[in-house]
Amino acid sequence: MVVNQEVATFAGGCFWCMVEPFDKRPGIINVVSGYTGGTTENPTYEEVCSNTTGHVEAVKITYDPSIMTYEQLVETFWQQIDPTDAGGQFNDRGASYQTVIFYHNEKQKEIAEASKQKLADSGKFTKPIVTEIIPAKAFYPAEDEHQDYYKTHAFHYKMYKKGSGRADFIKNNWTKSSDKSKLKEQLTPIQYNVTQENGTERPFQNEYWNNEKDGIYVDIVSGEILFSSHDKFDAGCGWPSFTKPVDHYQVKENTDTTHGMIRTEVRSKEGDSHLGHVFNDGPKEQGGLRYCMNSAAMRFIPKEKMIQEGYEKYLYLFQ
């Protein structure tokens, strides 16, 4: 039972695309698609899309702030949108697709405004940041067919996110680029081969395949958290295997058709490091997935050194 709960509300264009980035993150209790900001009670999807009710499509997120902070949610929000577009988002035009942060208290307002100013000062975008920050209003859940759309209509969702221009915008504007010449100096040959050239290390001849210590595994390039020892299991394959990542938002999955196979590649979000592949032969009682990773793509941080290394906020994993 979760006692510590707070709510955050964001409008980022089509709400189909605003659920997935938050839904599987640690500390997220639920994400609901809906309508807010207008005057009509219980508006329908068609009414909102007609831009006559004053509502925008939005998501309401219930979360545990001791695990996922509001600052992290706001940062995730920015990375899903074009904050310089006042007329909608990508191919979706009109007032109902405008971007808005709806704050529920003064603390959220301060955090959102500071984050917006930081983004403006960063020079990342040449145009002004036009996303509004306004008080939360009545929120009306959308119709059932619009809830969890990325799950219930997975293929159409991916096609829509790509076709609308959102996926490419996120890739081009919110993915960090690494200086490969510097990485070649910083990483060992096997680390560089795995992370930058999609290589694979030898089974049973790598650093973490049989590591049983408590701790976390982070990207060797970016330092972003990837996996926890609590989700590690012996798959008998000779590589470190996990049932799930700590934060699904920190990894991305791509279709890999190399070597005459069709597999799902796993990469880190920030570092864009090749990590390994995910398969459907993991423990069924824990979801059935096996994230088969390369030790060379990760660095292990023992639980007792997590504070020293700056990962104190993830100690909840071991409570």
**What is the widest separation between alpha-carbon atoms in the chain?**
63
pLDDT at 3: 64
User: Once rounded to an integer, what is the mean pLDDT over residues 176-180?
Assistant: 75
For residue 12, tell me if it sits in a domain.
Answer: yes
Domain boundary among 174, 196, 231: 174
- For residue 311, give Cα distances in angstroms to 121, 168, 215, 230: 27, 31, 10, 16
201 and 111, same domain (yes or no):
no
14 and 148, same domain (yes or no):
yes
For residue 284, tell me if it sits in a domain.
Answer: yes
185 and 295, same domain (yes or no):
yes
Domain boundary among 174, 198, 228: 174
CA distance 135 to 140: 16
For residue 139, tell me if it sits in a domain.
Answer: yes
Give the domain CATH number at 278.
Answer: 2.170.150.20
Give 261-275 pLDDT, tens digit per residue.
Answer: 889 999 999 899 999
Q: Which residues contact 319 (CB under 8 A, 6 or more apart)?
A: none
CA distance 199 to 147: 39
Nearest to 274 by CA among 200, 215, 224: 200
46 and 192, same domain (yes or no):
no
pTM for the predicted model, two decimal places: 0.85
Handedness of CA 103, 29, 148, 84 (dihedral sign): positive
CA distance 293 to 244: 11
Give 143-156 pLDDT, tens digit per residue.
Answer: 999 999 999 999 99
Question: Which amino acid is it at 231?
Answer: D
CA distance 311 to 285: 29
What is the domain count for the chain?
Answer: 2
For residue 24, tell me if it sits in a domain.
Answer: yes
pLDDT band at 174 (very low <50, low <70, confident <90, very high): confident
Nearest to 149 by CA among 162, 163, 160: 160
Give 105-146 pLDDT, tens digit per residue.
Answer: 999 999 999 999 999 999 999 999 999 999 999 999 999 999
pLDDT at 261: 87
The parent domain of residue 34 ranges over 6-174
Computed over every residue of the chain, the mean pLDDT equals: 94
163 and 216, same domain (yes or no):
no
Contact by Cβ (8 Å): 115, 74: yes
For residue 270, tell me if it sits in a domain.
Answer: yes
For residue 1, tell me if it sits in a domain.
Answer: no
165 and 253, same domain (yes or no):
no
CA distance 130 to 87: 10
For the record, the structure tokens of 98 come out as 């405008």
For residue 17, tell me if it sits in a domain.
Answer: yes
Give the domain CATH number at 23.
Answer: 3.30.1060.10
210 and 169, same domain (yes or no):
no
DSSP string, 74-109: HHHHHTTS-TT-SSEETTEESGGG-EEEEESSHHHH
Give 50-106 pLDDT, tens digit per residue.
Answer: 999 999 999 999 999 999 999 999 999 999 999 999 999 999 999 999 999 999 999
218 and 270, same domain (yes or no):
yes
Domain boundary among 156, 174, 192: 174
CA distance 196 to 194: 6
Among all residues, which ones are annotated catalytic? Answer: 14, 292
CA distance 237 to 235: 5
82 and 224, same domain (yes or no):
no
Task: Name the β-bridge partners of 92.
Answer: 89
Question: Which amino acid is it at 257?
Answer: T
266 and 166, same domain (yes or no):
no
Residue 77: left if φ>0, alpha if ψ -120 to 50, beta else—which one? alpha
150 and 200, same domain (yes or no):
no
160 and 258, same domain (yes or no):
no
User: Once rounded to an integer, what is the mean pLDDT over residues 42-50?
Assistant: 95
